[in-house]
């Protein structure tokens, strides 16, 4: 059977499973809708947390980033994994002891202020919408390739599926759907990695194959490298093409540190992950589910570097130096999605010695890119230096590089590049969808709860009935799905980059608020509001300015990229919150007593 047929079968069965679970676990009360009545088993909650946390960025984009960035891509591994450890140790048991539904509710009660609660819920909505944009984009990419529809159509299909089980089942439906989605995504991630590791190194465990030598069979596939370590082969390929070695870093150390730290503390401040610890029966169950989740997460994260290295090696060796007419089938298939492309280029030299790279349009004319626009090119008076003439050449120099690849496709295309069976390719598509949809559902529930529970019931209409609140929760979830779909169609960057922005915003807003809220009784409502506003406004401004207005990296403050600025925003938040809290009256005694109770998460 073809890849398309297998995809329809496997994706169709997985979607039927998700919808069936949603119908079976339909929420009938606000307790079920927000926190699944706090009756989720720790192991099930650990799997659901892993699926919630391992988004499209983890499944689709992270290994792609590692394959393009080499050593620098490790910041995503260290940041996201370290962040989860931080969350499990510092926050999970304390917030479960608090026992409410949402993070803004914790903020409102801890800082004895509806204003603080509103600022927190607005921050939660802003962070969640930024994050969910990357998930919906991931859904669109998977659909566009494997079901042969446009990316926008794929986003709309994903919206419909998420709308059904998020609006119908709430946290109860989402939890058990995420358990199924974890099983799908981890199997889909491991099977192709195991296949490729055996093919190239003879080792069936990808984590070990990554550090093994190329086998005789692998050398036959690659055309080189027998007896050499995988990373040595990849380093050689890179240096032969004029790039730095794959294992060499290029990012400034300060930016690498800031991105890693922002991802780490951003993980610990993400409301859609924190809310999962409210769904278990006891405090000890929160600790237990955190441990299980870390184990389930580690399975994928220890495999990702191997997937990135294998994908990069196969990609470079199957494309570079080949005639476009002889391009492998995977390239032609992905070219239809416009996520990979080939421009036949030539290099000319002007009279003053300046080189100009131009490309040949389909009509045979020569054109060059001027501010991302194609303009006619007249070679009169110029000397032809080099004409690649239909050969697909990969180069560090943009003037001579002829192959453009969206890094978000590397994991999805990896089985095709390695010529694995069609059913494996389809399974990866189902896994990518499971990863994106699971996180999208968790984020949409945060947005829904922020509007219905924190805004409507907590501020606007405290006497609203449970039935009325549940109606508002479902309306808010439906609204959130539509907005998420819009951002999926018009994303501000590639998947992992968008997610990194969300983590930076979470680091700059929620992390200081929760840490001081649990561990410093002197923190006041004035300090919380001021710190949160200054942190998130500064971080959002920096991201928007240097991502959309001034895109020149030379303007970055101290060399810190928009992905890493959340670390600075977090520090500003901590300082502002500390100073303002000391300048204002201390919290009431009952609030300080509550903090004392939350800080010692013993069983009641």
Which of 509, 532, 560 terminates a domain? The answer is: 509
Domain-located, residue 216: yes
Domain count of the fold of the chain? 2
Percent residues over pLDDT 90 in the chain? 9
pLDDT value of residue 100: 62
Residue 430 has pLDDT above 70, yes or no: yes
pLDDT value of residue 492: 59
pLDDT value of residue 576: 96
Helix axes 495-519, 525-544, angle to 10 degrees: 170
Q: Higher confidence at residue 156 or residue 277?
A: 156
DSSP conformation letters of 515-576? HHHHH-TT--HHHHHHHHHHHHHHHHHHHHIIIII---GGGSGGG--TTTTHHHHHHHHHHH
Q: What is the pTM of this model?
A: 0.79
40 and 176 co-located in one domain:
yes
pLDDT value of residue 190: 92
242 and 354 co-located in one domain:
no
Out of 135-144, 264-273, 490-499, 520-529, least confident range: 490-499
Which of 390, 408, 426 terminates a domain? The answer is: 408
Helix (H) or strand (E) holding 138: helix 114-146
Give the integer Cα–Cα distance in Å for 395 and 364.
23
Helix (H) or strand (E) holding 366: strand 366-370
Out of 15-24, 267-276, 497-506, least confident range: 267-276
Q: Higher confidence at residue 95 or residue 122?
A: 122
Domain-located, residue 129: yes
362 and 486 co-located in one domain:
no
Average pLDDT over the chain, rounded to whole? Answer: 81
403 and 479 co-located in one domain:
no
pLDDT value of residue 1: 77
Residue 234 — left, alpha, or beta (φ > 0 → left; ψ -120 to 50 → alpha)?
Answer: alpha
253 and 392 co-located in one domain:
no
pLDDT value of residue 156: 84
120 and 149 co-located in one domain:
yes
Give tens-digit pLDDT for 15-35: 888 778 777 766 555 555 655
Residue 180 has pLDDT above 90, yes or no: no
Mean pLDDT for 423-435 is 85
150 and 186 co-located in one domain:
yes
Neighbour count for residue 383 (Cβ, 10 Å): 12
- Which CATH number covers residue 466? 1.20.1730.10
Give the integer Cα–Cα distance in Å for 448 and 80.
25
Mean pLDDT for 43-58 is 80
Chain position carrying tokens 């002829």? 402
127 and 101 co-located in one domain:
yes
Return the C-alpha torsion angle 456, 458, 461, 466, nearest 10. 80
Residue from 84, 60, 63 nearest 302 by CA: 63
Domain-located, residue 328: no
pLDDT value of residue 604: 44
Domain-located, residue 591: no
Asked if residues 194 and 206 have their Cβ atoms less than 8 Å apart, the reply is: yes
pLDDT value of residue 333: 83
Neighbour count for residue 253 (Cβ, 10 Å): 9
Domain-located, residue 152: yes
Residue 493 has pLDDT above 60, yes or no: no
Give tens-digit pLDDT for 321-371: 788 888 888 888 888 877 888 888 888 888 788 888 888 877 778 887 666
289 and 308 co-located in one domain:
yes
Mean pLDDT for 442-470 is 76
Give the integer Cα–Cα distance in Å for 53 and 288.
17
Domain-located, residue 1: no
- What does each C-alpha distance from 482 to 26, 139, 143, 357 come to in angstroms? 21, 14, 18, 42
Residue-range definition of the domain harbouring residue 98: 17-315+413-509
Residue 210 has pLDDT above 70, yes or no: yes
Residue 401 has pLDDT above 70, yes or no: yes
Which of 378, 408, 438 terminates a domain? The answer is: 408
Domain-located, residue 387: yes
CA 553 to chain centre: 22
Domain-located, residue 426: yes
Give tens-digit pLDDT for 159-168: 787 777 666 6
pLDDT value of residue 475: 83
Mean pLDDT for 388-417 is 82
232 and 366 co-located in one domain:
no
pLDDT-derived band at 419 (thresholds 50, 70, 90) equals confident
First to last CA, the chain: 58
pLDDT value of residue 317: 82
119 and 137 co-located in one domain:
yes
Helix axes 151-201, 3-24, angle to 10 degrees: 110
382 and 468 co-located in one domain:
no
Asked if residues 249 and 559 have their Cβ atoms less than 8 Å apart, the reply is: no
Mean pLDDT for 48-56 is 78
Give the integer Cα–Cα distance in Å for 447 and 127.
10
Give tens-digit pLDDT for 529-588: 999 899 989 998 998 888 878 878 888 888 898 888 999 999 999 999 999 999 999 999
């Amino acid at each position: 059977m073809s890849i398309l047929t297998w995809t329809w079968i496997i994706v169709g069965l997985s979607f039927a499973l998700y919808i069936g679970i949603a119908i079976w676990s339909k929420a009938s009360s606000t307790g079920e809708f927000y926190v699944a009545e706090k009756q989720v088993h720790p192991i099930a909650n650990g799997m659901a947390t892993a699926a919630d946390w391992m988004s499209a960025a983890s499944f689709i984009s992270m290994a792609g980033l590692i394959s393009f960035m080499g050593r620098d891509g490790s910041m995503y591994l260290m940041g996201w994994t370290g962040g989860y450890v931080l969350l499990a140790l510092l926050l999970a048991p304390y917030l479960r002891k608090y026992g409410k539904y949402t993070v803004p509710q914790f903020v409102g009660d801890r800082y004895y202020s509806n204003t603080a609660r509103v600022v927190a819920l607005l921050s939660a909505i802003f962070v969640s919408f930024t994050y969910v944009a990357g998930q919906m984009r991931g859904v669109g990419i998977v659909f566009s390739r494997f079901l042969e529809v446009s990316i926008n159509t794929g986003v709309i299909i994903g919206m419909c599926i998420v709308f059904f089980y998020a609006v119908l089942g709430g946290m109860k439906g989402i939890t058990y759907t995420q358990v199924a989605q974890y099983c799908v995504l981890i199997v889909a991630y491991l099977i192709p990695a195991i296949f490729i590791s055996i093919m190239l190194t003879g080792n069936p465990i990808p984590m070990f194959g990554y550090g093994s030598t190329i086998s005789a069979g692998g050398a036959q596939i690659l055309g080189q490298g027998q007896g050499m370590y995988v990373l040595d082969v990849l380093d050689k390929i890179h240096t032969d093409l004029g790039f730095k070695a794959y294992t060499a870093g290029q990012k400034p150390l300060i930016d690498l540190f800031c991105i890693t730290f922002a991802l780490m503390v951003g993980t610990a401040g993400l409301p859609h992950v924190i809310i999962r610890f409210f769904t278990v029966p006891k405090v000890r169950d929160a600790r237990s589910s955190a441990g299980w989740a870390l184990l389930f997460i580690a399975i994928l994260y220890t495999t990702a570097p191997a997937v990135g290295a294998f994908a990069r090696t196969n990609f470079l060796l199957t494309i570079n130096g080949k005639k476009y007419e002889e391009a492998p089938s995977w390239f032609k298939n992905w070219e239809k999605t416009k996520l990979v492309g080939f421009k036949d280029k030539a290099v000319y030299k002007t009279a003053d010695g300046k080189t100009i790279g131009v490309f040949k349009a389909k009509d045979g004319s020569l054109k060059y890119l001027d501010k991302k626009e194609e303009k006619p090119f007249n070679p009169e008076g110029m000397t032809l230096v080099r004409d690649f003439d239909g050969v697909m050449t990969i180069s560090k120099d943009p003037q001579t590089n002829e192959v453009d690849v969206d890094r978000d496709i590397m994991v999805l295309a990896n089985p095709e590049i390695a010529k694995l069976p069609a059913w494996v390719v389809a399974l990866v598509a189902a896994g990518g969808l499971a990863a994106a949809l699971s996180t999208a559902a968790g984020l949409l529930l945060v947005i829904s709860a922020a509007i219905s529970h924190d805004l409507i019931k907590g501020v606007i209409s405290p006497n609203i009935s449970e039935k009325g609140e549940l109606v508002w929760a479902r309306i808010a979830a439906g609204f959130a799905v539509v907005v998420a779909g819009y951002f999926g169609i018009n994303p501000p960057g590639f998947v992992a980059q968008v997610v990194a922005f969300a983590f930076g915003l979470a680091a700059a807003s929620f992390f200081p608020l929760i840490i001081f809220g649990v561990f410093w009784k002197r923190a006041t409502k004035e300090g919380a509001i001021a710190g949160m506003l200054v942190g998130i406004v500064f971080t959002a401004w920096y991201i928007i300015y240097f991502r959309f207005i001034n895109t020149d990296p030379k303007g970055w403050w101290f060399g810190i990229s928009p992905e890493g600025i959340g670390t600075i925003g977090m520090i500003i938040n901590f300082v502002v919150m500390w100073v303002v809290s000391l300048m204002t009256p201390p919290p009431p005694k009952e609030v300080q007593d509550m903090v004392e109770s939350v800080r010692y998460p013993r069983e009641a």
